[in-house]
Amino acid sequence: MADRMVLAGARVVLPTGVAENGRVTVEGTRIGGHAPADAPSVDLSGHWLVPGFVDMHNHGGGGASFTSGTAEDVLTGVRTHHGHGTTTMVASTVTGEMDFLTHRAGFLSELVEQGDLAGIHFEGPFISPCRKGAHSGELLRAPDPAEVRKLLDAARGTAKMVTLAPELPGGMESVRLLAEHGVIAAVGHTDATYEQTVEAIDAGATVATHLFNAMPVLGHRAPGPIAALLEDERVTVELINDGTHLHPAALELAFRHAGAARVAFITDAMDAAGFGDGVYRLGPLAVEVSEGVARLVEGGSIAGSTLTLDTAFRRAATVDALPVEDIVRAISTNPARLLGLHDRVGSIEAGKDADLVVLGADFTLRGVMRKGAWVVEP
């Protein structure tokens, strides 16, 4: 019989609401059912117990890059984020040569098959030169469905999401292709109009890549992608809650308008997350991180974040004053559903993986459990 442990006394955030003084049983790697009274128990009184975080947009951490690092580097990045409560994450790539990206897809797919990553997110190269952010301009290309197909094939079933600009030639066709293959078509790094964005959603796009960032602003005569993505019930909007990418009022506007069921908190983290200031590379470009803000050395564009999801949670609870149940949906449940992993992760329910985060009353991270083993002991 698997080892049994009871986590007792915490305020547990369940799909049905908050259970005061809750008891959660861990049986081996899973969340179990009822435990005998003599099972060893860990006292978590005065703490919150929430599901492990799920990050659907993450480029690396701990000094390591998912786009360019060795397998050991990628695992360093993964473990760094585990230590901050993210128990499930995809690896996001940045724009590169097609040959490089297809090769990288094959390499990362092995780490997905081993269970270290939950899938691959291709951010670029099919994005708009007008909204390239920290992607290298000369490597951008229009979204050719045949090339999109090549990336999916190279990823051998592990591609979860492709961020693209649907207004470019081949854009709508590529969105349809992704939707047909069960891969998320995400609208981002885009210069699309409101009408083009509506067309992309009708073609099957279901995610807004870091809403507000790398897209036209919301204008009263040209509402652009932001209005189209926020208003459509079929779309989930990614938000980077680091206090740099978004003003708290913009975050609140998105959260109120989309509702907690249609928001996904992401990090968009690069190498410096959980590591420190310094000079890094994001794909082929140099990035300087100063006081936790990553900017391109050339041009000064914001270049990903140094955010970890424990900080995003704390900000959401303390700065944005969002209800804890809503934060849990945005940081665990919704991304798990989008990635097709909701039968395993994303909520505290019997039979799911014992991926759990312990937070103090002030929402600072106190403990992390992944598949029944403590990564950070409370």
Q: Which residues bind Zn ion (CB under 5 A)?
A: 123, 268
Q: Report, in Å, the least distance between residue 80 CB and Zn ion.
A: 17
11 or 104: CB nearest Zn ion: 104
Token digits of residue 259: 């509702």
123 or 320: CB nearest Zn ion: 123
Q: Report, in Å, the least distance between residue 20 CB and Zn ion.
A: 38
Q: Report, in Å, the least distance between residue 269 CB and Zn ion.
A: 9
6 or 302: CB nearest Zn ion: 302
Q: What are phi and psi of 287, to 5 degrees?
A: -130, 135
Q: Report, in Å, the least distance between residue 287 CB and Zn ion.
A: 12
Query: How many CA atoms within 13 Å lie on the side-chain side of 29?
Result: 6
Q: Report, in Å, the least distance between residue 21 CB and Zn ion.
A: 40
27 or 55: CB nearest Zn ion: 55
30 or 245: CB nearest Zn ion: 245
Catalytic hit among 55, 232, 242, 268 = 268
38 is known as an active-site residue = no
Please check whether residue 185 is in contact with residue 162, taking contact to mean a CB–CB distance below 8 angstroms.
yes
61 or 367: CB nearest Zn ion: 61
Q: Report, in Å, the least distance between residue 305 CB and Zn ion.
A: 9
Residues belonging to the active site:
268
